[in-house]
Structure 1
């Protein structure tokens, strides 16, 4: 009987420790900073900040589910949009994503330049990601 009590106590302490220490960064307030390209040059301006927890989680979920290709790409023109996940009150280095709208306006292409990763998303995922990041329908782009 004594061994069971010790086992339960130990299990409880370990559980509390794991819950408290897991995903510390996940609990920090995170937002997405979106920038759009100005003109035809490689210049960007702040466009939007996405601070809604559910929207940030959805974008993270989409990006985590992607089967990225390891490729160093050289696009014909600068990205239409850039977005960065940032933590409030943190100096942690953020990963920058670049987003291109396909000529047919039905898909987006993403690049993580620092990691040499590339993907062209399917139509539905492209539309969903674009709607969250830009706040407009992908098909409505000029």
Structure 2
């Protein structure tokens, strides 16, 4: 009887673990970096550590977004995408990121005319996740 209980316990743990792993598959952020002075981007980095992906998503999701179309004076420094899950379908959320001239903040624009300038701390955290480097040098 103890063997049967042990077997079912192990089976339950394996099923729960497999379910959790399956939920995390596909959670990644792809980052492109602008090359030169033109609006040409190349693959730069892929972030697939689940805690870093979740933190980046939370930073972007919880930012104080403004519904306005902005015209930037130069091309974006980076572009990044991550999966955005809502209740009915999976989508890819795309963002353009600028490091502003003082080097302490980043600004983000979406294709759907949303804009945000992140706080210094959120800027530093997101930039480090996306590039692996410190924002302020």
Same fold (TM over 0.5): yes
Instruction: Tell me, in whole angstroms, the C-alpha distance in 1 between the residues paired with 2:61 and 2:91.
Output: 18
Q: Which runs of 5+ in 2 are unaligned?
A: 1-21
Aligned pairs for 1:1-142 (under 5 A) are 27-29=23-25, 30-86=27-83, 92-113=90-111, 115-140=112-137
Instruction: Tell me, in whole angstroms, the C-alpha distance in 1 between the residues paired with 2:107 and 2:48.
Output: 23
Q: Is the 8 A contact 1:33 1:86 kept in 2?
A: no
Instruction: Tell me, in whole angstroms, the C-alpha distance in 2 between the residues paired with 1:93 and 1:123.
Output: 29
TM-score, normalising length: structure 1: 0.73
TM-score, normalising length: structure 2: 0.76
Q: CA deviation at 1:63?
A: 1.1
Q: Is the 8 A contact 1:109 1:120 kept in 2?
A: yes
Pairwise CA RMSD of aligned residues? Answer: 1.8
Helix, strand or coil for the counterpart of 1:128?
A: helix
How many residues end up aligned between the 2 structures? Answer: 111
Instruction: Tell me, in whole angstroms, the C-alpha distance in 1 between the residues paired with 2:121 and 2:131.
Output: 15
Instruction: Tell me, in whole angstroms, the C-alpha distance in 1 between the residues paired with 2:49 and 2:91.
Output: 21
Instruction: Tell me, in whole angstroms, the C-alpha distance in 1 between the residues paired with 2:119 and 2:53.
Output: 20
Per-residue CA deviations over 1:21-46 (Å, capped at 9, x if unaligned) read xxxxx925210000000001000000
